Amino acid sequence: MNNDFKSGFVSLIGRPNVGKSTLMNCLIKEKISIISNKPQTTRNKIQSILTKDDFQVIFIDTPGIHKPKSKLGKYMLKSANSTLNEVDIVLFLIEPDKKLGEGDKIILEKLKTIKTPVFLIVNKIDIIEKESLLELINYYRTLYNFAEIIPISAIKDENTDTLLINIKKYLKEGPKYFPDDMVTDQPEKQIISEIIREKMLHLLQEEIPHGIAVEITTMKKRAQKDIVDIDAIIYTEKESHKGIIIGKKGTMLKEIGTRARRDIEHLLGDQINLQLWVKVKKDWRDNDILLKNFGYDIKKQ
């Protein structure tokens, strides 16, 4: 390995729905974090890995900063905050068409307590005029001494090369933490459950809030065949939501499974036999045992 090899950890932080997951997926050219147009899509800290010839970056996609309303919400907020002092660079994402909100103010106050270099990433520049963008940047300069200010469009992969160049500039010489072909530290089951949840966020729109969780109960590859059998249970908090998720004659559940199967087959490179069931677990977002079963171990935070 090159003696000048650099490595480090980079946290993405910001209000819900500013494009953190989109940016991370864009940078590593793989779909690791789920994406939807609804806030609080990301629930866990998700690490993805970008490896180049002379550097390696481990990106940590955190849940959006928001006011918690349940134990799950508190877990998500603590998950986001806990990364700020543990990384080499913090990417603070904002949207150009939104005024400084309470979430941004909370983040800025927390950033003032850390010594980690902070980049202001103005995402979605494809929706704002250049003059307005410059005014926004100048305004944020008065609020915090950012190490770098970089305007980008994650969805259009615009100026993300400049972002990577600047990230590398701030990294220190270090080891290669992960193998070249590894793009995430997340277990396959965790990624698959998130893929299924993403399809529900897209398909169910505002009918179902974020009171859904997915548990992969079995995952087994058939002997001498490139087929993986996956059984998953979708949990919802309300009986009325169960019927909506299943849909008339099972049409919605079938569509969720069809869309999820495509992404899972791309992830695993095998044919997938996906079976979905829906069960009601009332108030699971405030149940410590259920939260742990679904991958949110609040006692570790």
Most confident of 82-86, 129-133, 177-181, 199-203: 129-133
Residue 263 sits in the same domain as residue 124: no
- Is residue 179, in this structure, part of any structural domain at all? no
User: pLDDT digit string (tens) for 195-237?
Assistant: 898 888 888 866 565 678 888 889 898 877 789 999 999 988 8
Residues 208 and 267 in one domain: yes
Assess whether pLDDT exceeds 50 at residue 38. Answer: no
- Reply yes or no on whether the pLDDT at 247 is more than 50: yes
- Compute CA 291 distance to the chain's CA centroid, rounded to the nearest angstrom: 18
227 in a domain, yes or no? yes
The reply to whether 285 falls in a domain is yes
In a domain, residue 181? The reply is no
Which pLDDT belongs to residue 118? Answer: 95
Q: Using alpha carbons only, what angle is made at residue 97 by residues 94 and 101, rounded to the nearest 5 degrees? A: 60
Range of the domain at 231: 188-300
Span of 39-53, 142-156, 229-243 with lowest mean pLDDT: 39-53
Radius of gyration, CA atoms only, the chain = 20
CA dihedral 52, 56, 59, 60 (to 10 degrees): 150
Helix ranges (DSSP H) in 269-295: 288-293
Q: What is the pLDDT of residue 189?
A: 80
Render pLDDT for 16-36 as a digit per residue (tens, 0 to 9).
778 888 898 889 887 665 544
Are 132 and 212 contained in the same domain? Answer: no
pLDDT tens digits for range 152-187 = 999 999 999 999 999 999 999 998 888 888 887 677
- Residue 108 lies inside a defined structural domain of this protein: yes
CA angle (19, 21, 23) in 5-degree steps: 65
In-domain check, residue 18: yes
Number of separate domains in the chain: 2
Task: Check whether residue 150 and residue 201 sit in a common domain.
Answer: no
